[in-house]
A = this chain, B = another copy of it.
Amino acid sequence: MDTEFKIIEEPDLDDPILIEGLPGIGNVGRIAAEYMIKHLDAKKFAELYSPHFMPIVLIDDDEVSLLKFEFYYWKNDNGNDVIFLIGDSQAGKEGSRGHFEVSESVLDLAKRFGVKRILTLGGYSTGDLGDEMEEGPEVLGAVTHKEMIDEFDEFNINFEDTGSNIGMIVGGTGLLLGMAKKRDMDGLCLMGETAGFPILTDPMSAESIVEIVSDIFNMDIPLDDMDEKVKEMEDFLEKLEGLQKKSMKQMDYGDDGDDEKLRYIG
């Protein structure tokens, strides 16, 4: 089994932008993307399965299912339709090849539907509850080509401090940008500030992201009911994270000091 797609529908899209939100720091990207999908009533048209996800099935809503990525589309009026990508998990839980292989597959699908620009969403951790938080979480930006910075000048994105503050982007959120650049697409990454580790899922940071994305693409997404809607996503994502950690622990046997480990495998 290689990384593979299940195509549900072949939508006809106008100059689409890919917007990615995978689980990660504060689950900022994933929550932001899923909130937009729900609000815009975007339609699922494809799924991606990969042996680079954890070898587990989730039991949810009375059925088992493999971990997967999901692609949704939304027909916009402004000339740029949108493909949203959300996932149960980052790929590559067991090695960097997974990140590369799955990101390459995502870009293959993107190219097939005519995508020339991608937008990846994530979080970055400041590690403290600083003063800036009073004015809401800041959003850092990074681009594939520096000329793009001017293009997004009017939005509330801090491009100046990204290099010095974080210096790199780890996992799918970064690789998609880097690999898009190599394939002559361009891309933008938005990273919402999250206060620190005790907060697992950070809706406020996701809200800052949604606000900017909605402005850029004229999505007209109200944020007043976001807190509430995020609650259910949060429960699912925290369950998912807990299960993946548990399963990673269960598969990490070989350490004979801990006989319990081997006993967990199904």
Contacts and interface: CB of A to CB of B under 8 A. Distances in A.
A2 to B, nearest CB: 9
Given A163-B59, A254-B249, A1 B65 contact: no
A55 B170 contact: yes
Interface in A146-179: 146, 149, 159, 162-163, 166-175, 177-179
Contact of A171 (B55, B170, B173): B55
* Range of interface residues on A (Cβ < 8 Å): 35 or more
Interface stretch (A73-81, A203-211, A218-226, A237-245): A237-245
A243 B167 contact: yes
A168 B250 CA distance: 12
- Which of A23, A53, A97, A162 is packed against the most chain B CB atoms within 10 Å? A97
Contacts of A266: 22, 24-25, 29, 120, 122-124, 169-174, 191
A168 B58 CA distance: 4
Q: How many copies of this chain does one complex carry?
A: 4
Contacts of A182: 6, 49, 66
Given A170-B265, A178-B57, A178-B66, A248 B252 contact: no
A146 B61 contact: yes
B253 A97 contact: no
Contact of A248 (B171, B172, B200, B254): B254
Q: Which 6 A-B pairs have the closest CB atoms?
A: A51-B100, A55-B99, A173-B266, A248-B254, A66-B178, A57-B178
